[in-house]
Structure 1
Amino acid sequence: MQIKQVLNNNVITVLDEQDQELVIMGRGIAFGRKAGDDVDESQIEKTFKLDDKEMNKRLLELLAEIPLSFVEVSEDIIQYARKHTNKKIHDNIYVSLTDHIYYAVERFQQGIAIKNALLWETKRFYPEEYRIGQHALSIIAEKVGIILPEDEAGFIALHLVNAQMNEDMPVMINITKFIQDVLHIVKFHFGIEYEEDSLAYYRFVTHLKFFAQRILNHRTQKDSDNSLFEMVKTNYSRAYACAQKVQSYIQKMYQEQLTDEDMLYLTIHIHRIVQKKEENS
């Protein structure tokens, strides 16, 4: 195995048998070496192979700029996350999370505090990812020697959610705001407080995550069984009236027209969450 490119003393690239580029890391693996030299395989600590060419390019740029220790911290967090969740985490997390942690530590050392405006919502909507984010802070403290504020646990949680949905951070922030706004509409329409540990609430938030993703990406959904929609609209008239308010909000904020299929599922989820609340009251 020969070196294709030396990024720094600790990072090189090579070509595998299929002529695909691999990123290889190891302390001092490139010291005194150049392209075309053989790789000392005993020094290999980590191998990356990102199928997305654009993501691979970003990873190479990042690894050339930051210390190896931050890649190791990020790797520890990602492995912990994959062990403690059954959700698929996209490889883009290696770029986004490593980059975020490096600059979060750098900002902290410069005395620059960034407040997380979505911390409360992140705790509510993504509790599993937030717990992983909290553990990530302890990993950073152990490896880097810096105790970052709780806000960073929320930021790390959103990076994990991004990697599950394979979305960029600004998109994830917009999705979270969308969920928050719709929940407020339903809450104030019925004058209720949510039971956030209930299955109905979990299902509703999960539906809103993917609903928001589609709305923000302007992906239209085709209508299917119109007779079912008419039945739901009649039988769940209170929930449908609330769904119409959500529809007006989406039209105003995102210039998207909801289909009967959208309104069908929205009405059913609203009905379930309100019915569950009223049953328990």
Structure 2
Amino acid sequence: MKMIKKINNNVALVSDRGTRAVVIGLGVGFNARPGSTVDESRVQERFVLQQNANVAHYMELLKKIPANTIEAAVHIVRDAARMLDKSLPGILVFTLADHIGFAKERLLEGIVLEHPLSCEIAQCYPDEYRAALHGVEIMSDHLGMDVPEAEASFIAIHIANALGDFAGGFDAAEMAEMISGSIVLVEQGIGRGTDRSSMAFSRFIAHLRYYLMRRIDGEVGEEADADLFRLVSAKYAEAFSYARAIDAYLTEEHGLGAGDCGACPGELLYLTLHINRLISNERSERTGQDGQ
């Protein structure tokens, strides 16, 4: 492992068996010079840069970000990988460090930002959001300040993007936006908001997320039995109208063509059933409350 450039006493860019990586460890960059051998016993964390990564950009980023901010990002990524039981790419350290640095500046000025899709992010990416809530605690510890829970939504999006393989140029935030727009269509149809803490809502979000992923990926769903499709679309006409509205919204507002699997009868059938369960649950709860 050879030194390429020292960032500070505890962070350095190295060449390791033909790959470039950022290594972090107490004293790993102390008295180091380009071309010198790195004391690997000091390396505590190692993050490989992708082959097409803009190394110069990340070098500049690392030089500008305080050590405690980088350490917070490293800690968040390490614990998120453990909580999710998944490998997270090294690039996440840099994107999180950049976000944390900006968030610290905002918070010192008394500016607390709420992600406009915070509810949808928590519902759409529950595991990532739990890891992000833990990340807020880590930020508070490393930065020595109270970090509001609102930051969890932004951290969750970074984690989801790092894990996701989103096709068609979409990312986690755009997925959440599409889900939010779909929920609004249903809520406008029934004339009130839904109970977002209910099991029916969680099931609807889970199905909607997978529906969107299949549609974005261009996967063709199973064709529905014609008689069954006619039965469901007639019996649950209201829910079917909302499913059709969601299909049109995704096509017109987000560029998912009508030829994608979202427009397949089988997909519309299952979406209709989930919407019907949601609105039936809402009306049942409302009736129960009115009767009390």
Do they superpose with TM above 0.5? yes
Change (3 A) 1:155 1:223: closer
For residues 201 and 117 of structure 1, do their structure 2 counterparts lie closer, same or farther at Cα, with a shift above 3 Å needed?
Answer: closer
- Could you tell me which residue of structure 2 aligns to residue 161 of structure 1? 160
Deviations 1:95-147 (A, max 9, x none): 22121111111232344443432334434444544443333222222222121
Q: Does 1:4 align with 2:4?
A: yes
Corresponding position: 1:189 with 2:203: no
Q: Deviations over 1:229-274 (max 9, x none)?
A: 6523432432322211212322331243143154244224324434
Residue 35 of structure 2 is matched in structure 1 by 36
* Aligned ranges 1:196-235 → 2 under 5 Å: 196-213=196-213, 219-222=217-220, 224-225=222-223, 227-228=224-225, 231-235=228-232
Which amino acid is 2:207 matched to?
H
Partner residue of 2:274?
Answer: 269
Q: Which amino acid aligns with 2:99?
A: H
Partner in structure 2 of residue 176 of structure 1:
176
For structure 1, the 5+ residue unaligned runs are none
Q: What do the CA deviations read for 1:176-202 (whole angstroms, capped 9, x no partner)?
A: 221112112223434576454555433
The answer for unaligned runs of 5 or more in structure 2 is none
Shift of 1:42: 3.3
* Residue type at the aligned position of 1:240: F
Task: Give the secondary structure class of the aligned counterpart of 2:145.
Answer: coil
CA distance in 2, matches of 1:41, 1:86: 26
Contact 2:13 2:23 in 1 (8 A): yes
Equivalent-residue separation in structure 1 for 2:282 and 2:149 (angstroms): 31
Decide whether aligned partners of structure 1 residues 276 and 86 sit closer, same or farther in structure 2, where only a CA change above 3 A counts.
farther
CA distance in structure 1 between the aligned counterparts of 2:157 and 2:246, rounded to whole angstroms: 24
Q: Given that residues 5 and 34 in structure 1 are in contact (C-alpha distance below 8 angstroms), is that contact kept between their aligned partners in structure 2? A: yes
Question: In the superposition, relative to structure 1, how do residues 84 and 24 fare at CA in structure 2: closer, same or farther (>3 Å)?
Answer: closer
Separation (CA, whole Å) in 2 of partners of 1:236 and 1:101: 48
TM-score, reference length from structure 1: 0.79
Give the partner amino acid of 1:104.
A
| CA distance in structure 2 between the partners assigned to 1:27 and 1:67 by the alignment | 15
Q: Report whether the alignment pairs 1:71 with 2:70.
A: yes
2:150 match: secondary structure: helix
Judge conservation of contact 2:76–2:138 (CA < 8 Å) in 1.
yes
For 2:122 and 2:61, locate their aligned partners in 1 and report how far apart those are by CA, in whole Å.
Answer: 29
Contact 1:81 1:132 in 2 (8 A): yes
Cα distance between partner residues in 2 of 1:222 and 1:121: 26
* TM-score of the pair, normalised by structure 2: 0.76
Q: How does 1:89-168 map to 2 (within 5 A)?
A: 89-166=88-165
Is the 2:84–2:131 Cα contact (8 Å) retained in structure 1?
no
Count of residues in correspondence between the two structures: 276
Partner secondary structure for residue 246 of structure 2: helix
Preserved CA contact (<8 Å) 2:48 2:90: no
- Look up the SS of the partner of 2:21 in the other structure: strand
> Residue 121 of structure 1 contacts residue 176 of structure 1 at CA under 8 Å; is this kept in 2?
yes
Provide the C-alpha distance between the structure 1 equivalents of 2:106 and 2:125, rounded to a whole number of angstroms: 25
Aligned-residue RMSD, C-alpha: 3.4
* 2:225 counterpart SS class: helix
* Structure 2 residue identity aligned to 1:73: A
1:248 aligns with 2:253: no
Secondary structure of 1:48's match?
strand
| Rounded Cα–Cα distance in structure 2 between residues aligned with 1:43 and 1:213 | 42
* 8 A contact 1:223–1:259 mirrored in 2: no
Over the matched positions of the two proteins, sequence identity in percent amounts to 28
